Amino acid sequence: MLYGDPEASFEQLPMICHNLKLKNPGTVTHIETDDAGRFKLVFIAFGVAIRSFIAFMHPLIIIDAAHLKGRYKGTNLLAVGMDGNNQIIPIATGVSQGETGEAWTLFMSWLKECIGEVPNLAIISDRHAAITQACATIFPNCFHGYYCRHLMMNCNLKQEKVRYLYRKCCKSYTHEIFNKTLAELKAKRLQAVEKLEKAGYDKWSRAYCSGKRYIYLTSNSAESINSLTRHVRRVPITMLMEYYRRLLQDWYNKRREKYRVAPEFELTDWATKKVHHRMWKSANWEVRGIAQFAVYHVLSPYGSHMVDFIKNECTCRQWQLSGLPCGHLCAVCRVKELTSCNIWAQSWFTKAALKGTYQEMVFPLDEEANWHNPGNLQKVKPPVIKRQAGRPKNGDRFPSKNEEPIVKSCGRCGIEGHTREACMQPVPSLKEKNRGSISGSGKGKEVMQENVDLNHLVDEEYFQNGRIYQEWDDLSWGVQPSNWQWEGDLACNGEPSNRQWEGDSEWGAAPTYSGFNLNYNPESSNAYHLDDF
């Protein structure tokens, strides 16, 4: 097989995990089996991704899952992080038999072993009950938020105006703007607002979140990885794990070369674009000093806010939650003629941090013949294939009166009891079909097939000399002018020409006239060709 045997892939899984840890130091792998040694869950976190996340990236993890499509069904669990240039890095991945509470609890506990206690950590996921329970148990001190788009679809918000109000609620940084927008949404969709209240404002809005969402409101990062693996999730489990390793190797290699030269205080391209937009937007805002180089009052068309350099915060809360200078801070830097406001951005937005993120390398495995075998690896058996959930077939139906069972017959040989897909009978030759008998038809009768001469089906007399046009004359389509002629090679003046048509039969009698040229076909070289009818 091109991608290997699905059953053998489970047997090779412990060996592959062991050699991954040897080739890439710091890689963490776990395999969970049942009492019979059958596969339940595998977890893989690559060492380079773990170290990059702890030292240089957002304290943010986006979690999602996708279904496997191969012979052995299951779920591909995924945890991704974001670098300072808004690029995705898979931190950990795994495969379980389903998206259950046990699977997510084990996955999150092993993930915490890898990253440890991260200050101001935020986890974004959907509203799956298993994920919510696992986050509350394993990461009790972190902020856990929901995907805003999934919540919008659950509330059945379809109109564009209503969606605009919902997105404005999600993106609002202050309570005042949030409450005002929510009141407008409540006037249009009361039931939807009740569902949003039940979910909790702190789970989906920036204004009420207890931690920091770092401006990420959707699961697009994890969904992008799921889109990349849509075809790979059909192959055996070992090839899926190898795909993630190869993906990291390729991304680290390309980005390392791209960010080889990185000035210390220069922001990444994505962060620079954000800051420049805020500087342009605040170009005409008024700045009033309260305490020199400490506290400032900024007036804008959207309201007034206070910038405090001692606490490193602004009352608009955009600086604190996003990690990038807000428009009010940019206005103060402009008025005070500061060369740059990059020093007030979080460290993971600098190019120096971006360079450190991809400074390490991801190595491939050796050939299978050169794999190291310690001899004490656990034995993993394939999981038991369970029937997929669905509506069972109804086999206890009472037959109707005089109802007889339907006996299927083969459309290839005509024998009852099977269909053409399972037919093993030899195909009779064409001569046998024309000469004689195909016994055992669908009705249980002998069928005789005679030689059929299709030539008699074409009655040339019917088409000679415009005989067909005589029938059209009954429609009285018009009066024939005296000097009218056919568009073809035959002059319709009462006498047939010496021309012959494609059937090599002479035209016998004089043509009749219907007043309408039915023979004319501009795409035909012969105006009297039989196909023109």
Q: Taking a C-beta distance cutoff of 8 angstroms, is the pair 165, 184 a contact?
A: yes
Confidence of residue 443 (pLDDT cuts 50, 70, 90): very low
Q: Is the pTM of this model over 0.75?
A: no
How far, rounded to the nearest angstrom, does the alpha carbon of residue 228 sit from its chain's CA centroid?
Answer: 8
Output the pLDDT for position 428. Answer: 61
Does one domain contain both 486 and 520?
yes
Confidence of residue 218 (pLDDT cuts 50, 70, 90): confident
Q: Is residue 477 part of a domain?
A: yes
**Domain final residue, candidates 396, 426, 451:** 451
**Domain final residue, candidates 323, 348, 373:** 348
Output the pLDDT for position 506. Answer: 43
Using the predicted structure, report yes or no on whether residue 20 has a pLDDT greater than 80: yes
Residue with tokens 């804008």: 300
Please give the structure tokens belonging to residue 205.
């809005």
Q: Is residue 375 part of a domain?
A: no
Q: Taking a C-beta distance cutoff of 8 angstroms, is the pair 290, 307 a contact?
A: no
Q: Is 264 exposed, middle or buried (0-12, 13-18, 19+ CB in 10 A)?
A: exposed
Does one domain contain both 321 and 440?
no
pLDDT (average), residues 107-117: 95
CATH of the domain at 110: 3.30.420
Terminal CA-to-CA distance of the chain, rounded, Å? 56
Confidence of residue 214 (pLDDT cuts 50, 70, 90): confident
Output the pLDDT for position 122. Answer: 94
Q: Using a pLDDT cut of 70, give the percent of the chain over it.
A: 77
Instruction: Look at the chain and report how many structural domains it folds into.
Output: 4
Does one domain contain both 480 and 436?
no
Distance CA 247, CA 241 (A): 10
Each residue of 322-349: pLDDT tens digit?
Answer: 999 999 999 999 888 877 888 899 999 9
Computed over every residue of the chain, the mean pLDDT equals 81
Does one domain contain both 57 and 142?
yes
Does one domain contain both 300 and 434?
no
Does one domain contain both 104 and 229?
yes
Confidence of residue 432 (pLDDT cuts 50, 70, 90): low
Does one domain contain both 55 and 94?
yes
Domain that holds residue 316: 269-348
Q: Is residue 155 part of a domain?
A: no
Each residue of 134-144: pLDDT tens digit?
Answer: 999 999 999 99
Does one domain contain both 445 and 529?
no
Does one domain contain both 420 and 303?
no
Q: Could you tell me which residue, 452 or 251, shows the higher pLDDT?
A: 251
Output the pLDDT for position 423. Answer: 86
Distance CA 507, CA 501 (A): 8
Each residue of 243-262: pLDDT tens digit?
Answer: 999 999 999 999 999 998 87
**Domain final residue, candidates 363, 389, 422:** 363
For residue 344, the 8-state DSSP code is G
Does one domain contain both 80 and 108?
yes
Q: Is residue 371 part of a domain?
A: no
Please give the structure tokens belonging to residue 74.
């299951």
Confidence of residue 400 (pLDDT cuts 50, 70, 90): confident
Confidence of residue 181 (pLDDT cuts 50, 70, 90): very high
Distance CA 236, CA 97 (A): 14
Q: Could you tell me which residue, 461 or 54, shows the higher pLDDT?
A: 54
Q: Is residue 430 part of a domain?
A: yes
Q: Is residue 179 part of a domain?
A: no
Q: Is residue 262 part of a domain?
A: no
Using the predicted structure, report yes or no on whether residue 467 has a pLDDT greater than 50: no
Please give the structure tokens belonging to residue 201.
């404002």
Pairing mode, strands 28-33 and 39-45: antiparallel
Q: Using a pLDDT cut of 90, give the percent of the chain over it.
A: 52
Each residue of 348-393: pLDDT tens digit?
Answer: 999 999 999 999 999 999 998 899 998 889 899 998 877 766 766 6
For residue 377, the 8-state DSSP code is P
Determine the 3-state secondary structure of 175 from DSSP: helix
Each residue of 471-509: pLDDT tens digit?
Answer: 444 444 444 444 444 444 444 444 444 444 444 444 444
Does one domain contain both 292 and 229?
no
Output the pLDDT for position 340. Answer: 80
Output the pLDDT for position 167. Answer: 92
Distance CA 337, CA 469 (A): 96
Does one domain contain both 237 and 274?
no
| CA atoms in the 13 A half-sphere facing the CB of 438 | 22
Using the predicted structure, report yes or no on whether residue 405 has a pLDDT greater than 90: no
Q: Is residue 318 part of a domain?
A: yes
Residue with tokens 């606490």: 311
